[in-house]
Amino acid sequence: MRPTLRLTGLAPVRMAVWAVVAADVALLAWVLITSLKSTREVFDHPWRLPMPPTPDNYLTALEVGNFGRAAVNSAVVGVLSSLLAVAVAAPAAYALTRTTNRAGRPLTLLFALGTGVPTQVILLPIFLMLSSLELTSTLTGLTLAYVGTAMPFTVFLLTGFFRSLPGELEEAAALDGAGVWRTFLRIVVPVARPGLVTVFVLQLIVSWNETMLALVLMQDDEKETLPVALIGFAQQQQYTGTNWGGMFAGVCVVVLPMVVLFAWVGRRVTEGMTLGMGK
């Protein structure tokens, strides 16, 4: 409580905030409930709970929408690329924050600048490059693309994080004769674990939801990720009339893992996203 900060006359505003919060929760609940209804029920009884709840929509999403395959692909590419991104970015960010090399500062800036390059600029060159290596429509190619495009963001976040760690332990380890790599792996990584996990989770969220690269690189249904499957499913229904139950089942497959992740490590995510901003 900060009684000294109290503004007056905020009760209606507070109500409005809670109304928006409640609407957000209601919307999520709605999507979840609708995904368990039959197509008829969706429109005939929009307010009712599903009676009885049916898994049909999920079966449709799995069979027609290819969501099962896509979920596996998304999980594999997401976890693998995020792990690799952190494994590559962490030593680099550490070296950049602790180096006495004159190149350290401009290189750090280069990574920061990279965060400003939008996907649409690098989309074609990445496609042409992976295509010449015959890596388009492969999970390897997409994973590589995600690891590469993750570099600016992960290195940038981790430099902010390493800068906030005190250097004394490392100094002590260096005086004891431990090499730089040994110091990094044995001393720095354990201390920096919360930061590394945060960056991993953030990157996992980014790659799970990434659409533009996936849409262009993955032309094969067998290799598509969830956002591509969701778009494909939405577009199919242009002709058949929208099957909202099936659609919302697909939406749930995309959203629910993120809900679980957020419920589990949400504080870390929000803190991580504000890490190294300001001071």
Partner 1 sequence: MALAPEPRPGPAGRARQRAFVPMAAPALALLTVFVLGPACYAVWISLQQTAGYGESRFVGLRNYARLLGDPVFHTALLNTLKLLVIGGGVTFVTGFALTMVLREMRGRLVARNILFFPNIVSALVPAIVAGFLFNPDGLVNTVLRSVFGVSDPPKWLAVDNTFTLILIVAIWAAVGYYTTIIMAAVDRIPAYFYEDCALLGATSWQRLRHVTIPLSWDVFSVCALLWTISSIKVFELVLVFGGGTAGTPPSSTWTVALYSYAATYGGSGSPPELGMTAASALVSLLIAAAVVLLLRRALDREAVRF
Residues 84-103 that bind partner 1 (CB under 8 A): 88-89, 91-101
Residue 53: CB minimum distance to partner 1, A: 19
Residue 235: CB minimum distance to partner 1, A: 5
For residues 61 and 67, the answer to whether their CB atoms sit within 8 Å is yes
Per-residue contact string for residues 144-183; x = within reach of partner 1 by CB under 8 A:
xx-xxx-xx--x-------xxxxx---x--xx---xxx--
CB-nearer residue toward partner 1: 24 or 63: 24
Site for partner 1 in 188-207 (CB under 8 A): 205
Q: How many residues of this chain interact with partner 1, rule: CB under 8 A?
A: 110
For residues 93 and 196, the answer to whether their CB atoms sit within 8 Å is no
122 interacts with partner 1 by CB under 8 A:
yes
For residues 188 and 93, the answer to whether their CB atoms sit within 8 Å is no
Site for partner 1 in 131-150 (CB under 8 A): 144-145, 147-149
State the burial class of residue 137 (Cβ atoms within 10 Å of its Cβ: 0-12, 13-18, 19+).
middle
For residues 209 and 77, the answer to whether their CB atoms sit within 8 Å is no
Among 33, 76, 83, 261, binds partner 1 (CB under 8 A): 261
10 interacts with partner 1 by CB under 8 A:
yes
What Å distances lie between residue 182 and 177, 188, 195, CA to CA? 10, 9, 19
Residue 22: CB minimum distance to partner 1, A: 9
Residue 246: CB minimum distance to partner 1, A: 12
